[in-house]
Amino acid sequence: MSVKTNARTPKSKTKANLNGTIGVLEANPWHQAMLQLDRAANRMGLEQYIVERLRHPKRILTVSVPVKMDDGSVKVFEGYRVQHNLDRGPAKGGIRYHPQVSMDEVKALAFWMTMKCAVVNLPYGGAKGGVICNPKEMSIGEIERLTRRYTAEISIIIGPDKDIPAPDVNTNEQIMGWVMDTYSMTIGYSAPGVVTGKPLEVGGSLGRREATGRGVFYVTRELSGLHGFDLRNSPVAIQGFGNVGMNAAKIFAQHGCKVVAISDVTGGIYNDHGIDVNALIEWRAKHDSIAKYPKAERIDVDQLIEVPCDILIPAAMENTIHHGNANRVKAKYIIEGANGPTTSEADKILSRRGVIVVPDILANAGGVTVSYFEWVQDIQALFWDEKTVNAKLQDIIVKSFRDIFEIHQRDKVDMRLAAFMLGLKRLAAAVKIRGLFP
């Protein structure tokens, strides 16, 4: 049996060459996250010891994940689990499988989860996990063995009362089912509350699959009411056609909105008359790509940011809107379906141009909100119908949006700063109440 190691290029170097327009610091998600923290903390006059607490994740676990591949060889992957903050409750955050996963990315995502849970007032802290791998080049069996070994390695810090993972980039309901089963076998009894986003048959929640996209729609609808524009007459462009982007596209279309551009990793498409989202989903299921969809013009992935539209929804990866392309954005409103899609440098450019950005820690919080509902249902062993789930989701997202919008107007700050101010206020209160042990 031969043994392989998982060599990789550091993410900062890969991203530094993106179109030749984005530097190492701008590409580094942890650096961007800390810029956001410092900006809000300075505006609020937040005590320095609280800022220092938030600049250092509570717990970082790095694991090696040896996996027997289909050809009989063993490949060793590297995985992470970061628990950023536990002051408001157990940690919550997804697991992603991607070749460009890095420690700084996982730390930033865990920080943003801390902020997100505080913004929508969930009793959670933030966490995130990831494995450096390319699941598109792996078989189902290899992905299952990777998942089970990674789960076994991080089982020392996860649990229904400690840290509850969920799906993220390139992970799904089946993978969460394997996480739940592996953890349950480890402790000797079924523990559905250890993970969310899992299949309904093992304790999943109705409405979870669509929750992030639905939350994106709810905040956009609220924004349209407060800014006085007609959502049905406002062309929408969506970058990314995974779980978030696809479900957002479906929900916007169901409400009579015109989706004019969509992209995925294979390419992008544009049709100023609107794209039939359901037909596109059927096309992709047969062709495993949207790039050659015949009823739209083909565009490059990078072009989607720049297409004529009123509403732009980045729902792919971080750093897709940066100082090199922010001036070319034609949208009036950006609703961040992904985590960290807009760099701080781009934020400044967009603000000067009058573009309204609804930040990720609010815009995509529908997923963690319904994950919270799933966890509550698992603990109670009492499950809700989808109408109840969606109604509760709408209540939380709408209230959070209005709280942030009030700060935005009262303090004359952009929406991202307003969201951070709200989240940090709640986090600071928890830190002060709990004090320092020992």
The values of phi and psi at residue 93, to 5°, are: 170, 155
Q: Say which of 75, 92, 107, 128 is annotated catalytic.
A: 128
Question: Which amino acid belongs to residue 421?
Answer: M
250 counts as catalytic: no
The values of phi and psi at residue 272, to 5°, are: -70, -10
| Burial environment of residue 49 by CB neighbours within 10 A (0 to 12, 13 to 18, 19 or more) | exposed
Q: Is the distance from CB of 102 to CB of 30 less than 8 angstroms?
A: no
Q: Specify the DSSP class assigned to residue 131.
A: E
Identify the CA nearest to 302 among candidates 237, 239, 246. 239
Residues 6+ apart with CB under 8 A from 96: 109, 128, 129, 130, 131, 168, 169, 170, 171
Residue ranges of E strands in 25-69: 59-68
Identify the CA nearest to 309 among candidates 272, 355, 275, 352. 272
Going 224 to 305 to 102 to 374, the CA torsion angle's sign is positive
Give the Cα separation of 293 and 296 in Å (integer): 6
> What per-residue string of b and e applies to 108-118 under the rule 16 or more CB within 10 Å gives b?
bbbbbbbbbbb
Give the Cα separation of 258 and 430 in Å (integer): 43
Which element (helix H / strand E) includes 130?
strand 125-132
Q: Is the distance from CB of 4 to CB of 66 less than 8 angstroms?
A: no
Bridging pattern class, strands 333-335 and 311-314 = parallel
Going 394 to 397 to 400 to 401, the CA torsion angle's sign is negative
List the catalytic residues.
128
